[in-house]
Structure 1
Amino acid sequence: MSESESISDNGQSGPKTPNDLLGHLDGLELCYDLHRHPPLFTVEDSKALRGELPGGHCKNLFLRDRKGKMWLVVTLEDRPIDLKQLGAAFGGARLSFGSPDRLMTQLGVIPGAVSPYALFNDVDRAVTVVLDKELLTFDLLNYHPLSNEMTIAVSPDSLLAFLKNLGYEPEILDFAALA
């Protein structure tokens, strides 16, 4: 087995599963509320099917530049994002969306299941995490835990503790100031 290949907590090689992730969160004693639902692939799907799920709802953009540097940008679901403007904020990077293959290879999820919790599969810690400053003002935030058939509601402190446990220091960006 190569160094870049991972073994999940269930003994399988390849991406870790939602159960692996939830077990990890339980081991860290990080609280979450789990909600199961039909698969959601877009923000529009989420809005249509989530009902009265409280908290901040997010969109997660897996981006890359021409040199192969990768970012996971986590922002409020209705926040408009201009990739040129965001690239300028990242030091002039020309950004594009990462392909589904790159997404699976790097974060172990399919399009529609991207969230900060997919960083659980980033064994090389090659993805830079960028969080919308406004997210941290909510009592609860909602994310898919490696599957777009589930949502977990977590506090911003729990999200930050999870990221810190994995070795990430997210960049906090004021996306409202970019608009």
Structure 2
Amino acid sequence: MTSHPKTPADLFAFLDSLEIPHATKTHPPVFTVAESESLRDEIPGGHTKNLFVKDKKDQYFVLTVEERASVDLKTVHKIIGASSRVSFGKPEKMLEYLGVMPGSVTVFGAFNDIGNNVTFVLDEDLMKHDIINGHPLSNDATTSIARDDLIRFLEATGHRPLVLKVTD
């Protein structure tokens, strides 16, 4: 039985319970990096794109990278420890594990992954930013959080994030 996906409000309450400062700006829903680039001047820090991928053994990963970076899907499996080349995960699994729809994949989806089905990979280049931005489980807002607090958040959800160079 699947539980209902948690809401942005649930996420913010969880961050508050961890005493993690966060700031969220609402905006029209954005589905592409191009659309979200219009928000740049208003929101400082590293902006993310998130790839939900799986290998042939059904191990799932979220790769969180700087929005303009490119990931070589033919070779990234060697870096992240997947058993084979990766392909994009299906929307049903995205909803089941992360509680989000395509277009809203986010590192904060770890909050919904109570079964620990997904490995979260943070790109080394992204982690050079002091502030990381991601959708708070919906793509009509952007939440800003300090880099070290993002790792603390992931660990608090039971995930040990991998910080690896996954971009070209």
CA apart distance, 1:50: 4.1
Q: Aligned AA for 1:35?
A: K
User: What TM-score results when the alignment is normalised by the length of structure 1?
Assistant: 0.88
Give the corresponding residue for 2:7: 17
Which ranges of structure 1 fall in alignment gaps of 5 or more residues?
7-13
Q: How many residues align?
A: 167
Give the corresponding residue for 1:11: none
Partner Cα distance (1:136, 1:60) in 2:
14
Give the corresponding residue for 1:82: 72
Identity of aligned residues (%): 42
Query: Given that residues 135 and 156 in structure 1 are in contact (C-alpha distance below 8 angstroms), is that contact kept between their aligned partners in structure 2?
Result: no
Give the corresponding residue for 1:54: 44
Q: Does 1:125 align with 2:128?
A: no
Query: Given that residues 63 and 70 in structure 1 are in contact (C-alpha distance below 8 angstroms), is that contact kept between their aligned partners in structure 2?
Result: yes
Give the corresponding residue for 1:65: 55
Where 1:83 maps in the other structure, the secondary structure is coil
Which ranges of structure 2 fall in alignment gaps of 5 or more residues?
none
Deviation string for 1:11-56 (max 9, x for gaps)?
xxx1111111111111111101110000011111111344432111
Q: 1:102 aligns with which of 87, 93, 104?
A: 93
Query: Given that residues 114 and 157 in structure 2 are in contact (C-alpha distance below 8 angstroms), is that contact kept between their aligned partners in structure 1?
Result: no
Over the residues paired in the alignment, what is the CA RMSD in angstroms? 1.4
Structure 1 consecutive aligned stretches of length 4 or more whose deviation exceeds 3 Å: 49-52
Query: Given that residues 66 and 94 in structure 1 are in contact (C-alpha distance below 8 angstroms), is that contact kept between their aligned partners in structure 2?
Result: yes
* Structure of larger gyration radius: 1
Give the corresponding residue for 1:32: 22
Give the corresponding residue for 2:126: 135
